[in-house]
Amino acid sequence: MIDDQTLTTDGLSQLGKGRVLLLACGALAHEIIALKKMNSWDHLDLQCLPAIFHNHPEKITPAITDAVAKHRNDYDKIFVVYADCGTGGQLFEKCKELGVEMVEGPHCYSFFETNAVFEARDEMTAFYLTDFLVRQFDAFVWDPLGLGRHPALRDMYFGNYTKLVYQAQTDNADLRAKAQVCADRLGLTYEYRFTGYGDLETSLATL
């Protein structure tokens, strides 16, 4: 697992005109690095906040505020690679106040599928996993919810869900198989969707 708290690609030695800093969720590190390599976006530097903020959205806005203050003078542009992600609009308002842009959408499950497609589906009973969350299912879902110690909690947490949707960024047979196991463990129907990078790629392309 990547050390997502201080991850920086390309280093800080190439700071200067035209460089952009991405302040991102650690759960997106693999995807952003892949997109950088695939598109030769060498002008983009990456620094990630801890991926566990996925479970603690109240920590996202203060951490982004601190990171922008720390790096603002070193870059021509800072772009926040979070959607709202459970902040209740606070991150959007703070980014507007700070004069930095961010990824549009309510969360990564939406922008990976593209926000327009996700909204049109209007799925209220689907539980979503991405490549990252399939890899880290125990660390970010099973263990934090205490399901290993208290199996009866599964129905309390997931009783209103009908299916687990794996939104795949990469075509990986091992991850598909693991996602099926995750669905079985939660007692949910399994659905696989290859989304690629969706609006994440198009957002970074504008930079």
Q: Is residue 123 part of a domain?
A: yes
State which residues form the domain around 60. Answer: 8-103
Q: Is residue 204 part of a domain?
A: no
Helix ranges, the chain (H) = 29-39, 60-71, 90-98, 108-113, 115-121, 131-135, 137, 153-158, 173-186, 198-205
Band the pLDDT of 10: cuts 50, 70, 90: very low
Q: Is residue 201 part of a domain?
A: no
Distance CA 174, CA 180 (A): 10
pTM value is 0.88
Tokens linked to 173: 């047979």
Lowest mean pLDDT among 3-12, 51-60, 70-79, 108-117: 3-12
pLDDT of residue 49 exceeding 80, the answer is yes
pLDDT tens by residue, 148-206: 999 999 999 999 999 999 999 999 999 999 999 999 999 999 999 999 999 999 999 99
Band the pLDDT of 50: cuts 50, 70, 90: very high
Residues 38, 85: one domain? yes
Residue at which a domain ends, from 78, 103, 128: 103
